[in-house]
Structure formats: C-alpha cells, structure tokens
Chain A
Amino acid sequence: MRNPLSKTVVNIKPSGIRKFFDIVSEMPNAISLGVGEPDFDTPWHIREEGIYSLEKGRTFYTSNSGLLELREEICKWYKRKYNVDYDYRKEALLTVGGSEGIDIALRAMLDPGDEVIVPEPCYVSYVACVELAGGVPVSIPLKNENEFRLTKEELLAAVTDKTKVLILAFPSNPTGAIMTRKDLEPIADICKEKDIIVISDEIYSELTYGEEEHCTIGSLPDMKERTIIINGFSKAYAMTGWRLGYALAPALIAEQMTKIHQFAIMCAPTTSQYAAISAIKDGDKDIARMRESYDKRRHFLLATFKEMGLPCFEPKGAFYMFPCIKEFGLTSDEFATRLLEEEELAVVPGTAFGDCGEGFIRISYAYSIDELKEAMERLNNFIKRFRNK
C-alpha cells in the first residue's frame, strides 16, 4: 500500500504536553498545575441563555459569519474597550474557538514560502498552523530580561524579503507577559515600514493585572488595515468548551477567511452564539470577578516564589507564571518529569512552547488557593531537596 500520509502533516512535531498528560492521568494523587483553561464555571446567565435557545428550538445553522446581533455586539464591545472600529457586517466572523481564527487567517494570507514571524515561547498551535498553510515559521526567542516582550531590534533582525505575517500574542500563554501601548508602538512602525500583516491573538485580553489595561495593536495609527484580531469567549467568560471565538479583520481579508470557514466549518455552534450574546452584553461583572480572583492567586504565587527563592518576572496577564529553573542544572523536561515522579506535581516544561522555553516551566494558576498551597509545598520540597544535595 502507498504511504497514505501527507509529508507536511507527518513532519509537524507532536505537542510536548502529551507525554505528561499520559503520566498524570495514571496518578490519582497527582496535583496538576498544567491546565490552560479557567477553573470557573461559565456564569449561569450565559448557560441559561444557551439552555433557552435550545428550548426555543434554535438548533439550525446560523449565517457563515455568525449571528448578526452577536457580531454587532462584539464590534461595539471592541470599540468601547479598545477603541477600534470594525464593521460588523463585513469585518467580523465567529469562529470555532480562537484556534480556528488563527488557522484560517494564516490560510487566507499565505502562499508557499511566505515567512511568518512567531515570537516564542508561545501557544502551541502557531507554528503547526503556519506549516499547514504552506508558510515558513521564523521564530524569535523572547528573553526573560525583557519580560518576554517583543522588542524592535528582535523583530528587525528576523524580517526578510519574504516576511508577510507577524503573530503577536499578548497577554501571553505561557509567560503571562503583556505588551503596553508604548511597547507596541515601535513594533507597529516596523510592520508599516516593512509591510507586515499582524495576527494579534488577544484571547487573554480581559486578564491583565495592575495599572495597565490591554491594548490592541490594531488601535494604533494606520494599523487597523494590517491587523487581524483574534479573540473569543473561552478565557474571558470561562467558556472553553463552547468553542466560540471571533476574528476582526479588514474586509479584504475577512472575506477570504469567511470563504475557508464556509467550506470547512459552515458556522460556529449556534447554541454557543446565543449564549455569547448574554456574555458580551452582561458579562463585564463576571470578567471583573474572575480577574480579581486570578489576581489574588497571582500575588500568592509571586510571594511564595519569593520565599522559595525561585526567580520569576512579574507576569501581568493571562493566568500563568513562567519561573526560571536553570539553577537546578536540569532541562525543563527533566525538571518537570522528576517533579511529577517525586512530588506528584504536574507542570508544563517551557520547551512545549518553543525551544527558547528551555530553562523555564509554566505554572497555571487557574486553581483554587487551597490547591495552589498544596502544590507550592510540593514544589518547595522538591527544590529544597535539590539545593541540599
């Protein structure tokens, strides 16, 4: 029989998380800080709206782009919060999670050989999606000393004649880094100068802590025309399982994205779309409540790391910490494996998010304080044993 598989797909590296998943699943007493989704239930008023839509028999396809009312609310919301104007008729598209948005944005823009700049460490799907779309991923290793923000110099060094797209994902999974308006300005200047399109994955936009609120690069002067905003309901409203995201893009690009979406997906889940109307109209207080809770856990971990002497820059977004474990002389993978074997605590090695994650681990704080406390005791035991050797 002939080889039935595509070379492109076979050559894609499998996710580094799988191995840990299999081990942890077999350990009943293990605590995991490896989850990349909120621990809250979807707020009841949103679930109720979903139930109501089912009761009403709203069980058909929606238009390809999604419910008009929802698109309108999303555009109004983005305008109110982040001061960008997208036309809900032609520039907004509901997708199956943010993930689909990234995939179709890349496929809508890339021709074979086009280069896509991917600052790492970053979410696991970008590189794979670029390769699937026939593009060439060009990684930029972000640095701890820059608090994992992208700098002008780093970007310039990565740009070539073939560069077409930059994927910008802040607040960041896995580092928790954010980029402020001031940080984004020089990046925007280069994108304009070098004619680069930005895919801005803002799925964690609602989870920023401290003074600085999220800023979208699309709101900077003359950037809207070259920015595709990817966002969704998963992280802001604790709706991961509803699989609902959206893309805001200039009409020219949105039209082609919609074409792929139409043929591959048809439309985002109808029940989720009805529920999401309630989320975006009445969900501000839910976001505030969850953000407050995450912030307390963030403070708790920061203080605990300090006591342990575990170096970690202060992350101001998402719900992750990215401490440095270089002093222990183990690779991230070895550290995570031994931590799991010896203390039954699961974390994700930094290398799951790109080679430059070596020397770091990702710790999620989408857990209750009691769970975090127990986990930190285990981490501390492990570290102390190591240092005493």
Chain B
Amino acid sequence: MNIEILKLLETDSKMTVTDIAKMLGLDEAAVAADIKAMEEGKIICGYHTMIDWDKVAEEKVTALIEVKVTPQRGQGFDRIAERIYNFEEVNAVYLMAGAFDFTVILQGTSLKEVSRFVSEKLSTMEQIISTSTHFVLKKYKDHGIIFDVVKQDERLVIAP
C-alpha cells in the first residue's frame, strides 16, 4: 500500500501511472503493481467523476435522510444497513454517532420519487423507528471540489 499514490488518485482518478511514477520518483511498474494490489484489496473501491448535475438539463434530486432504528440482536446495525444500501437509488449510507443512527443519501429524479421511496420502502421496515428527510437545494462543494469557481492565474507572468 502506498498512501502517496492514494492521495494523488483521490484528487485526480484520471492520473496516469507514468505521471504518478514521475511525481513520486518511483518506478512505473512498481506503481502499477501497487495500484492493482490496492484495487484488489478494495482500498481503491472505484474511480468516479465529479459532475455538477445542476448544469445538466436532466432532473436530479438529492435527499439526505436521517434514520432512527432499533438495532437487531446479534447483528447490531449492519443487517439493517444492508437492507437499506442494497436499494439502487441509495447513494450512500453512514452509521452515525448522535441523535440518529443512519444518514442515507438518496438520488432520485423527482421529489415524488424520493418521498415514495421513503414512505413505501424505508419507513415500512420494522426496525426503523423514524425518518426525517431533507432535500438538497444547491451543492457548493463536494468531495473537496468547489463547484462553479473558475480560477484564473492572477500572478505576474514573470517575477524574480
């Protein structure tokens, strides 16, 4: 495992093995082998693209749902989490410390679709005590990336 490789890929998953090797002063073959091993070990779980869907005509709704549950004997929260995260429309599930148990992030095409999911699929599970649904109005920053800010190099072109 090489943390430096992970740091680079985390900010730019398109970075080539050649560039990574150069930037870290490592051998290309070694970097390729490291990445392969980290993929197989599920340290690297996927390569995604940050998209600002607000700029795309297609309707998208993101909801953040706070869920309170009764943990199951012998299985704690994991079994319930599994029942939730297996739904395709569920984007993320986090176990939380604090006033509620799970944060569920959901992506749908309309408010209607999201509310139907909550009322029909989520709330009906017997371990779920309550849900509280919040809708995202605008994304400013996600995964460390600030949307909509184009940075110009404002430095003097040549300076001592």
Do A and B associate with each other?
yes
Interface residues of A (CB under 8 A from B): 15, 17, 20-21, 24-25, 30, 32, 34-37, 39, 123-125, 173, 296-297, 299-300, 302-304, 346, 348, 352, 369, 373
Q: Which residue of B lies closest to A19 (CB)?
A: B158
Interchain CB contact under 8 A, B159 and A37: yes
A-B contact count (CB 8 A): 56
Do B157 and A302 have beta carbons less than 8 Å apart?
Answer: no
The answer on a CB contact under 8 Å between A302 and B25 is: yes
Q: A302's closest neighbor in chain B, by CB?
A: B25
Contacts of A30 in B (CB 8 A): 157
1/0 per residue B140-156: CB within 8 Å of A?
00000000000001011
- B25, A21: Cβ atoms closer than 8 Å: no
In this complex, what residue of B is CB-closest to A303? Answer: B22
Give B36-76 as 1s and 0s: 1 = Cβ < 8 Å from A's Cβ atoms. 00000000000000000000000000000000000000000
Is B23 a contact of A299 with CB atoms below 8 Å?
yes
Which of A24, A124, A352, A369 makes the CB contact (< 8 A) with B157? Answer: A24
Report whether A21 and B22 are in contact in the complex, using a CB–CB cutoff of 8 Å.
no
Q: Is the CB of B158 within 8 A of A304?
A: no
- Are B8 and A34 neighbours in the complex by a CB distance under 8 Å? no
Closest to A373 in B: B19
Cα of A346 to Cα of B156 in the assembled complex, Å: 12
- Smallest CB gap from A21: residue in B: B158
Which residues 93-144 of B sit at the A interface, judged by CB distance below 8 A? none
Contact B22 A300 (CB under 8 A): yes
The distance from the CB of B46 to the nearest CB of chain A, in whole angstroms, is 23
Candidates B25, B153, B158; contact of A17 at CB < 8 Å = B158
In the complex, which residues of chain A have a beta carbon less than 8 angstroms from the beta carbon of B158? 17, 20-21, 24, 32, 34-35, 346, 348
Complexed CA–CA distance, A17 and B159 (Å): 7
Quick one: given A296-B23, A300-B22, are A123 and B160 in contact (CB under 8 Å)? yes
Interface membership of B24, Cβ < 8 A:
yes
Cβ 8 A contact of B155, one of A20, A37, A124, A348: A37
Question: B157 and A296: CB pair below 8 A?
Answer: no
A250 to B158: give the CA distance in the assembly, Å: 36
B5-52, CB < 8 A from A = 8, 19, 21-25
Judge whether B155 and A39 touch: CB under 8 Å: yes
- Taking CB atoms, residues of chain A closer than 8 Å to B155 are 35, 37, 39
Contact A39 B153 (CB under 8 A): yes
CB atoms of A297 and B23 under 8 A apart: yes
| B146 CB to nearest chain A CB (Å) | 11
CB distance from A17 to the nearest CB of B (A): 5
- Since A35-B158, A39-B153 are in contact, a sample of 6 more A-B pairs with Cβ atoms closer than 8 Å, ordered by chain A residue number, is A35-B157, A37-B155, A300-B19, A348-B158, A348-B160, A373-B19
List, in ascending order, chain B residues with CB within 8 A of A39's CB: 153, 155
- Residues of B with C-beta under 8 A to A369: 19, 23
In the docked arrangement, what's the CA distance between A173 and B19, Å? 26
Residues of A within 8 A of B159 (CB): 17, 34-37
B25: chain A residues at CB < 8 Å are 299, 302-303
Give B153's nearest chain A residue, CB to CB: A39
What are 17 sample pairs from A and B whose C-beta atoms fall under 8 A apart? A17-B160, A21-B156, A30-B157, A35-B157, A36-B159, A123-B160, A125-B160, A296-B8, A296-B23, A297-B23, A303-B21, A303-B22, A303-B25, A304-B22, A346-B157, A346-B158, A348-B158
Let me know if B157 and A21 touch, CB within 8 A.
Answer: yes
Instruction: Please measure, in the bound complex, the distance between the C-alpha atom of A32 and the C-alpha atom of B157, giving whole angstroms.
Output: 6
**Bound Cα distance from A388 to B112, whole angstroms:** 67
Residue among A15, A124, A299, A348 making CB contact with B24, cutoff 8 Å: A299
Question: Is A299 a contact partner of B22 (Cβ separation < 8 A)?
Answer: yes
Q: Are B157 and A25 in contact (CB under 8 A)?
A: yes
Docked Cα-Cα span, A30 to B23, in Å, equals 24
Contacts of A21 in B (CB 8 A): 156-158
Residues of B contacting A15 with CB < 8 Å? Answer: 160
